[in-house]
Amino acid sequence: MMLALSILIPAAAAALIAACHRRPNLREAVSLAAAAGLFACVASLGGDVLRGARPSLAAGEILPGFALAFELEPLGCLFALVASGLWFVSGVYSIGYMRGNDERHQTRFYVCFALAIAGAIGVALAGNLLTLYLFYEFLTFVTYPLVTHHGDEPARRGGRTYLALLLVSSMLFLLPAMAITWWIGGSLDFAPGGILAGKLSGPAAAGLAALYAFGIGKAALMPLHRWLPAAMVAPTPVSALLHAVAVVKAGVFSIVKVVVYVFGIGFGAEAFAWLPWVAGFTIIAASIVALRADNLKRRLAYSTVSQLAYVVLAAAILTPLSIVGAALHIAAHALGKITLFFAAGAIYTAAHKTEVSQLDGLGRRMPWTFAAFAIGALSMIGLPPAAGFVSKWFMVSGALAAQHWFALAVLVASTLLNAGYFLPIVYRAFFVPALPDDARHGEAPWPMVAALVATAALTVAMFVWADVPLALARRLA
Amino acid sequence: MVEHLPALQVVLPLVAAPLIVLARSPRFAWLATTAVSYACLVIAALLATRVATLGAFSYALGSWAPPWGIEYRVDALSAFVLVAVALTASFVAPYARRSIAAELDADRQYLMYAMYCLCLAGLLGITVTGDAFNLFVFLEISSLASYVLIALGRRRQALVAAFQYMLMGTVGATFYVIGVGLLYLVTGTLNLADLAERLRGVEDLRPVLAALAFITVGIGLKLALFPLHQWLPNAYAYAPSMATAFLAATATKVSVYVLLRFYFTVFDPAALFDRLPTRETFLALSVAAMILASLVAVFEREVKRLFAWSSVAQIGYITLGIGLENHAGLTGSIAHLLNHGVTKGAIFLLLGGVALRSGAASISVGSLAGLGRRMPLTAFGLVIAGLSLIGVPGTAGFVTKWFLILGAIEREAWWVVGAILASSLIAVAYVWRLVEAAYLRAGQGTRREAPAGMLAAGLAMAGLCVYFGFFTSINVAGASDAASFLLRGAR
């Protein structure tokens, strides 16, 4: 019942928002109310999951043997909590951003946003691979209008890259991977011990694992990461949606889900033995690109590529501790990255600055924004008192437990690199004197500031009260 | 009454045609056409339920017992095709009124309706008959009617297109009848079931092999099997909107049905597939169609022609199942008869609305600029049908793709898997040209949707694309039964 409601709330919200297109205030109220309702819904389900329940719902067979089925397990619950909670916050932020920048087609924006949330929740609740794939592709198509929101030539080009890479990966790799899984395993249902264990071995297993790892292009493993920087043409709330709320999270979530529930922890270690190396390479390479990027959003985009690879790396090491780390990092990165994007959008709205080199002294004019930015940066680096520390702790412990020295080295090196590209921004903003600039501006519109302060506070809160997400994550491994 | 349904299925539209010619009033013509189309759908549905519950049954026309008289035979496969054809007809008929009124002079409109009814009668007749020569007669009825339908197009090129199609179609029909003649020479019977029995053991006789070749090429021409597809792009591009939608959704599909019928129930599949390179031939031709025709579509500027090329590619999906020759592959193929029918039907119906409002005889991709603003519902319907063409999960096209991939994996034909996936990626490229034009380029003109009747028919069919993506009790269950029926004798 509650499960069905979780999908229906955002879908119904999309319809209502479309109906209210002549009344912006009502439209945005609907959007926020739906977000709050969804969060309440998912939270109440989360309580059941913590008590050990696995709420499930079969919505009928699509094909013989393939049901449209939903089942909420701890990881999905964590993802759904993050997505629904951040929908509310980004809804508040969007109001400020879209009005502050006089964006066009605002109704279409809110409709697609709500549909994207429906897609993300569908991915989170999917009870089998086919359902997951259905919502995964749905998410690709409903976010396309958001990415190309401006409708000009750069938007068209960015949209093309976005769609091309996501569809090439999902159609060319993920779809055959599913078909092969069905052929070998005879099932596509997520099962606690996996469905492939003992039915496949050696290079074939590694090959299938590769089809999955690269087929889930939303996880942005190199070399399939280019869609993420390309999607930077979109308005900032969309970037937040892509990087924190729904899209990339759907990607890494799907990978963790495939590793744990399709391959199974024992067998997965064999099939995914190569994956830490690819993920490790992605972490380092993306960090180096980020280090050299002057455009703030581009730097954040490559930071996302690298942070996502953390999750993949941790999932691929396949020790209970690292799986907990992977699950926690999905939430921790979401909170930290959304703060950073909100801050970037606030800087753009208030000061019309997009490059890192232009940020000198801005911290004094926009203290709230940059304080929040600093907290987000700490979380990315993995320092207390931010949520990133908790997940990184588990990842490092997992790497130690598995005696995976390469992973450990990558984690240490990337921490330094993260510090290298985030701390200078904070330093510039607060300690370098401002350029003689005529623009007299303060903070961005209040809904934006409120939203980014809230997410920064949540980032800290997840460090202080880590027990709820931890309890969910521990149920997984 | 119920036992006469197979005959009624054909007789109704056949009788409607001369009545329409006699009455000449467009209004009466439209009412009669619509009533007949709905009646055909009801009859087809009744026949399909009867086959699903009681199994295949036969009807002796004029009570002359087969194999001497003409036998009508309804089994899992023909019931499925009947439903697919009648379903399309029931969407096209209500759409026809405004569309024909806009594209033809008042004194010629009745012709269009009459030809449409004849064509429908022919297509249903091909599907329901169990007699090889009777099949030829219906093939000619439907083909002749469709030449006229195409020739009624507004532009003068329509005449050339119809003539071209007529030449190719006549060659095809002649080849078919030569093939049937050879079979008659060897066996002395024209009844399909009887033929099958008498052909056992003589498959290697030269006349039988020649008959196989003639029938394959003849029907291959009719169904636009690559590389015999040359007539199709022009025919689809210049025909009136309603004719394009109807023919694209039904005519080639029924020809595929004929091929399936001959390959799996008349000739001995064991001999056909094991001693002749049938599998390899069909895989190669289908893959070539899927890839090459899709590539042509990517570079085509005229929208109707673009989708005509896409049809050639999609027919490749359908014939792929013959090359895979297993249950999953054939299920995908047969399901695609219906899936592609509703998808292409929706696209051409909606494009008819676009053509009507733009006033131009041809629609270029560029002229779709701003369609998302001018005709939001039409544009949205086109996107949905386009997604089904690509095979996005949750649409009818995905269902097909999934079964074809399973079929190819079962054969361990990995290159075919790759080709299916590559072809759907190319489909993204040509569908997205339209999406970009419609939504991301500014265009002129005020907001004005297509007339309600046309819009409703198009959108309803686009809705079916999604419906068949989730509720597969008609398309997949029916196709799966039909595939089991075809493979029953095989192994």
CB-CB under 8 Å, B393 with A130: yes
Among A77-86, A107-116, B305-314, B438-447, the range with the most confident prediction by mean pLDDT is B305-314
Which range marks the domain in which residue A368 is found?
274-477
- Of the candidates A145, A155, A175, the beta carbon closest to that of B421 is on A175
CB-CB under 8 Å, B432 with A160: yes
User: For residue range B26-55, what is the model confidence (pLDDT) as tens digits?
Assistant: 889 999 999 999 999 999 999 999 888 888
CB-CB under 8 Å, B440 with A159: yes
Residue B349 confidence class, pLDDT cut points 50, 70, 90: very high
Compute the nearest-CA separation of A155 from chain B (Å): 9
Task: State which residue of chain A sits closest to B420, comparing Cα positions.
Answer: A172
For A60-69, A92-101, A297-306, B192-201, which range has the lowest pLDDT when averaged over its residues?
A: A60-69
Rounded mean pLDDT, A233-260: 85
In this structure, is residue A342 part of a structural domain? yes
For residue B470, the chain A residues in CB contact (below 8 A) are: 60, 62, 68
Q: Can you give the pLDDT at residue A439? A: 62
For residue A176, the chain B residues in CB contact (below 8 A) are: 405, 409, 417, 421
Three-state SS at B326 = coil
- Of the candidates B393, B409, B417, the beta carbon closest to that of A134 is on B393
Residue B122 confidence class, pLDDT cut points 50, 70, 90: very high
Q: Can you give the pLDDT at residue B59? A: 85
Q: Can you give the pLDDT at residue B489? A: 56
Interface of A with B in 16-75 (CB under 8 A): 60-64, 68
Q: Is A85 on the interface with B (CB under 8 A)?
A: no
Backbone angles phi, psi at B302, to 5 degrees: -90, 130
Interface of A with B in 177-206 (CB under 8 A): 179-180, 182-183
Residue, of B61 and B387, whose pLDDT is higher = B387
In this structure, is residue A208 part of a structural domain? no
Q: Is residue B491 predicted with pLDDT exceeding 80?
A: no
CA angle A119, A123, A125 (to 5 degrees): 115
Rounded mean pLDDT, B209-215: 93
Interface with chain B: mutation pick from A136, A171, A173, highest number of B CBs within 10 Å: A171
Q: Can you give the pLDDT at residue A54? A: 81
Q: How many CB pairs under 8 A join A and B?
A: 69
Predicted structure pTM score: 0.91
Q: How many domains does chain A have?
A: 1
User: For residue range B262-289, what is the model confidence (pLDDT) as tens digits?
Assistant: 999 888 888 888 888 889 999 999 999 9
Residues shown for chain A: 477
Backbone angles phi, psi at A61, to 5 degrees: -85, 135
Compute the nearest-CA separation of B374 from chain A (Å): 15
CB-CB under 8 Å, A167 with B428: yes
Interface with chain A: mutation pick from B331, B392, B420, B426, highest number of A CBs within 10 Å: B392
Q: Can you give the pLDDT at residue B320? A: 93
Compute the nearest-CA separation of B358 from chain A (Å): 23
The Cα–Cα gap between A220 and A208 comes to: 18
Token pair, residue B475, equals 């398309």
Among A143-147, B225-229, B383-387, B435-439, the range with the most confident prediction by mean pLDDT is B383-387
Q: How many CA atoms lie within 13 A of B56 on its CB side?
A: 19
Q: Can you give the pLDDT at residue A21? A: 80
Average pLDDT, chain B: 90
Identify residues of B whose CB sits under 8 angstroms from chain A CBs. 387, 392-394, 399, 401-402, 405-406, 409-410, 417, 421-422, 424-425, 428, 432, 436, 439-440, 442, 469-472, 476-477, 480
**Cα A418–chain centre separation:** 18
User: For residue range A385-414, what is the model confidence (pLDDT) as tens digits?
Assistant: 888 888 888 888 888 888 888 888 888 898
Q: Of A185, A175, A262, nearest to A211 (Cα)?
A: A175
Identify whether the C-beta of residue A474 lies closer than 8 Å to the C-beta of residue A400.
Answer: no
Among A222-226, B47-51, B59-63, B384-388, the range with the most confident prediction by mean pLDDT is B384-388
* b/e per residue B29-53 (b: at least 16 CB within 10 A): bbbbbbebbebbbebbbebbebbee
User: For residue range B68-105, what is the model confidence (pLDDT) as tens digits?
Assistant: 788 888 888 999 999 999 999 999 999 988 888 888 88
Domain ranges of chain B: 277-491
Q: Can you give the pLDDT at residue B490? A: 43
**Cα B42–chain centre separation:** 19
Interface with chain B: mutation pick from A130, A175, A181, A183, highest number of B CBs within 10 Å: A175
CB-CB under 8 Å, A130 with B440: no
Kindly write down the DSSP assignment for every residue of A148-188, as one continuous string.
TTT-SHHHHHHHHHHHHHHHHHIIIIIHHHHHHHHHHHS--
Identify whether the C-beta of residue A97 lies closer than 8 Å to the C-beta of residue A236.
Answer: yes
In this structure, is residue A381 part of a structural domain? yes
Q: Can you give the pLDDT at residue A50? A: 80
User: For residue range A168-227, what is the model confidence (pLDDT) as tens digits?
Assistant: 999 999 999 998 988 888 888 888 877 887 777 778 888 888 889 898 988 888 888 888
The Cα–Cα gap between B142 and B59 comes to: 22
The Cα–Cα gap between A181 and A189 comes to: 10
The Cα–Cα gap between A113 and A143 comes to: 7
- Of the candidates A141, A145, A168, the beta carbon closest to that of B392 is on A141
Interface with chain A: mutation pick from B324, B380, B400, B409, highest number of A CBs within 10 Å: B409
Q: Is residue A75 predicted with pLDDT exceeding 70?
A: yes
User: For residue range B356-367, what is the model confidence (pLDDT) as tens digits?
Assistant: 888 777 888 888
ipTM over 0.90: no
Rounded mean pLDDT, B304-314: 93
For residue A172, the chain B residues in CB contact (below 8 A) are: 421-422, 425
Interface of A with B in 231-260 (CB under 8 A): none
Q: Can you give the pLDDT at residue B1? A: 67
Q: Is residue B396 predicted with pLDDT exceeding 80?
A: yes
For residue A130, the chain B residues in CB contact (below 8 A) are: 393
Q: Can you give the pLDDT at residue A94? A: 85
CB-CB under 8 Å, B425 with A168: yes
Identify whether the C-beta of residue A217 lies closer than 8 Å to the C-beta of residue A169.
Answer: yes
In this structure, is residue A193 part of a structural domain? no
For A50-59, A82-91, A156-165, B118-127, which range has the lowest pLDDT when averaged over its residues?
A: A50-59
